[in-house]
Structure 1
Amino acid sequence: MSDAFIYRVKAAQRDLIERCGGIERAVAITEFSKSQVGRWNNPNDPDLMPIGAVRALEHDCRQPLITAVMAEASGRRLSDPEAERQSEVNVLSAHAEVMRLSGELANSVAVAIADGHFTPTEATAVDRVAANLEKAMSDLRAMAAVVKARGGMSANLRLVGGEEG
């Protein structure tokens, strides 16, 4: 296994624990010790979650974060069974979120490299923003897929300040 893959899994573990409500709640869900869950949450600790814990946490937050990393490592992607819910997302709002997070990512990288050294802590901060951007992009892509499947839909655009009629 490559170091990059391990770092992606570790980042997904951290995100999964966070989305399930933190270390204490992950302990309650998985029935592993607080110190073990803390090791999974620590990007500098080599411990990886066993499949049972991954499954329990992904089921709890309804987000297959680690499973998606595993699929990507095999050249695959997961499909979203809730793609229909994306049809209700306003295209402008979805696009705005992607743009906002893109700017935040650019800023995070700029701050991290401003002194000429990119530390592991800075890399972790950048990775967190990138994970949020990745989710926003996934949401936008899922919405676009629904629009294509339906043959188009209203973009919920309206003229502001125009005459009503």
Structure 2
Amino acid sequence: MINNQKQTVKIGIGELNVVKSPVVIQTSGLGSCVGVVLYDDTVKVAGMAHIMLSKPSKITDPKASKGKYASVAIPELIRRLTYLGVSKTSLKAKIAGGAHMFPNAASNELAKIGKHNVEAVKQQFLSYSIPIISEDVGGSNGRSIIFDPQTANLTVKTVQSGIKVI
């Protein structure tokens, strides 16, 4: 478990940030959104994004947060982490979220946002040759996550499944 005495940086929907240990980083309300963690466990640095969609549309607001889209958030996290001295080749990833929140709308492509978000995130990691160490994706339950760069543990909380560490 995470030590409650540690300073915590909270990431809102569509946001991203980076932290150094002993600070932990967290986000809540991951339904179809995907929580992405990029980290280097040797230097104890991590970044997190709360990704809402796979990529911007043609009519996207240019002022949209860099954490909103997988195609923008992951390169931005990499940029920020390398600025802190992390080597791209030492980055690892953990992901959670991408739930199917509207099971009664199974035939509607819009209802598959979670699945599309997970696929987009994995494609980004593949393009940067970043391994996904663990994941807790899909299902029909929302999640909250906390990542501790000191231990490289991602704590996933769901109403149905409780707490697990991946």
Normalised to the residue count of structure 1, the TM-score between the two structures is 0.26
Asked which structure has the greater CA Rg, the reply is 1
Highest RCO, 1 vs 2 (Cα 8 Å, sep ≥ 6): 2
Q: Which has the higher strand share?
A: 2
Q: Which has the higher helix share?
A: 1
Normalised to the residue count of structure 2, the TM-score between the two structures is 0.26
